[in-house]
Amino acid sequence: MQNAPFLAEIKRETARRRTFAIISHPDAGKTTLTEKLLLFGGAIDMAGAIKAKKDGRHATSDWMAIERERGISVTSSVMNFDFNGYAINLLDTPGHQDFSEDTYRVLTAADSALMVIDSAKGVEVQTKKLMDVCRLRDTPIITFINKLDRDGRSPLELLDDIEQSLGIEAAPLSWPIGMGKEFKGVYDLRQAHLRFFDPQAGKGTRPRETVVIQGLEDPSLAELLGNDSAADLRRDVELLDGAGYPFVMEHYLTGKQTPVFFGSAINNFGVKELLEAVVDLAPGPRPRTANLREVSPLEEQFSGLVFKIQANMDAAHRDRIAFVRICSGQFNRGMKLRHHRLGKDIKTSSAILFMAQERCGVEEAWPGDIIGLPNHGTLNVGDTLTTGEPLRFLGIPHFAPEHFRRVYLKNPFKAKQLEKGLTQLSEEGAIQFFRPVNGGAMLLGAVGALQFEVIAQRLASEYAVDIDLLGTTFNAARWLFAESKEQLDKLTREHSDALVTDAAGHLVMLFTSAWMMERTIELWKAIRFEATRECAETTE
């Protein structure tokens, strides 16, 4: 039985945690919004303008060389900060579809999501795919419609687009005043007020409020907005009161409704309202499903899930960090945790908290927090750590690759460095490497083709290994599982040219066409051909 003081403390600390992921189609302004959330949260003093390459600034969350060069996010980042008494764990995810596997895993560590939509483009292809992932877990989603400082679609049209394209109720909790050159800010429907910011503080330094108007009847409204804009705002709010979806907390928490906020991240409008809504509305840590039972965050025993591995965040030390979502109990520096896949204890004296690539030591952490554990190859994505019970949290899969390349090493004397680089980078889960059972050149597999460019650049910059990646005829893969070893051995003898093993030793079959895959599955009914496998699954 838990002691009363600890129960009270863990309830208090868990209740003030907010762990959410930011998701979007590329170029919707997700990274800029992330930086402005950090600004309003007081975590940073100056936003790294993406376009300001002359002074060497770049996004706080984009720490890889390729991210700074291209202005895109290719890996997820974690940022911890406090706001209004809440402990925020913000997970910035890649927007590009070729890195969606990383985004999927990050969403398993989040309790809610913040979806960013470009006001000119509305719901886009990747937005729909990410929504499907969130719907698998009924993840609550808050929507931020960005770039109102540019001409775009009308607010009502955007709300209808969300409802029709994503199949979810859209309940506006803020409303834009004008658009493009006529954009004057957003009205907070929840608090019934309107904030103005110093325009000189809009491009980098911490935002400064200049005026706050309370209510639509405030006499300052027409003075600051103009009579026409003030009248339009009053009319729009009256229309929403009669025809819009009212916000229902239960609908939001069950993934049936998304509260919608409008704004311009680059100009600060709507960002503070959004951050306040996240801490007020988004759920705290929730129970999580394990192999044996459901685990409550309020349990005394510690449990945590490794949802991401990142190599070489600190290039000087060639480190590997395991990102651990705390699911229950209290973490204390130095505590011993049981690594159940390997059946041994690990030390945690060097645990850290994150601000993208920046880090600091952590003395204690609570359910919902994301901590980093230095990793020397012992921790994999999907591993569970506890202080006792042999739990295994479920739902973090490897996806079957859809693109393949053969690895050609330009300098044969670098074979050991190549092996090390591919082993460590594949631990991150975005790229998979395979060894043909008949020997020969290694194969790389990825869900998105751009991953190959990233892996080649990272091998060169982080491991001093230059490679060429050659095309193959393969376009599909399936993991093989069977009760009978005899059946697997027979398939291996007959199809050895198409068989490889992954980094964990699992047998995989490659296919050159969908027809060939379907035909093979039909002929080998005693074998399961799986498109996914649990990351922590062993070959035993």
Q: Report the candidate in 116, 26, 34 with the shortest Cα–Cα distance to residue 70.
A: 26
Residues 6 or more apart whose CB falls under 8 angstroms from that of 26 comprise: 72, 95, 96, 126
Is 54 marked as a binding-site residue?
no
331 in Cβ contact with 304 (< 8 Å): yes
Query: What gap in Å lies between CA 408 and CA 442, rounded to an integer?
Result: 8
Terminal Cα distance for the chain, rounded: 36
CA 64-67-71 angle, to 5 degrees, is 155
Is 236 marked as a binding-site residue?
no
What is the DSSP annotation of 161-182? HHHHHH-SEEEESEEEES-GGG
Is 152 marked as a binding-site residue?
no
Enumerate the H helices of 447-510 as residue ranges: 450-463, 485-494
Query: What gap in Å lies between CA 366 and CA 232, rounded to an integer?
Result: 47
Long-range CB pairs of 235-239, under 8 A, 24+ apart, other chains included: 236/155, 236/175, 237/175, 237/187, 237/189
- How many other β-carbons are positioned within 10 Å of the β-carbon of residue 531? 12
517 in Cβ contact with 382 (< 8 Å): no
Is 31 marked as a binding-site residue?
yes
381 in Cβ contact with 307 (< 8 Å): yes
Is 149 marked as a binding-site residue?
yes
Q: Which residues are paired to 348 by β-bridges? A: none
Residues 6 or more apart whose CB falls under 8 angstroms from that of 9 comprise: 330
Structural tokens at position 449: 């083709």
Is 161 marked as a binding-site residue?
no
380 in Cβ contact with 536 (< 8 Å): yes
Is 281 marked as a binding-site residue?
no
The residue whose two tokens read 């460590």 is 424
434 in Cβ contact with 502 (< 8 Å): yes
Enumerate the H helices of 392-538 as residue ranges: 415-426, 450-463, 485-494, 514-523
DSSP secondary structure code for residue 498 in this structure: G
Which helix (H) or strand (E) covers residue 399, if one does? strand 397-399
- How many other β-carbons are positioned within 10 Å of the β-carbon of residue 235? 10
Is 374 marked as a binding-site residue?
no
Query: What gap in Å lies between CA 187 and CA 263, rounded to an integer?
Result: 10
Cβ-based burial of 157 (10 A; exposed 0-12, middle 13-18, buried ≥19): exposed
- How many other β-carbons are positioned within 10 Å of the β-carbon of residue 530? 16
Output phi, psi for 100, to 5 deg: -65, -25
Is 94 marked as a binding-site residue?
yes
Mark the binding-site residues, compressed into ranges. 24-31, 92-96, 146-149
Binding residues for GTP: 24-31, 92-96, 146-149
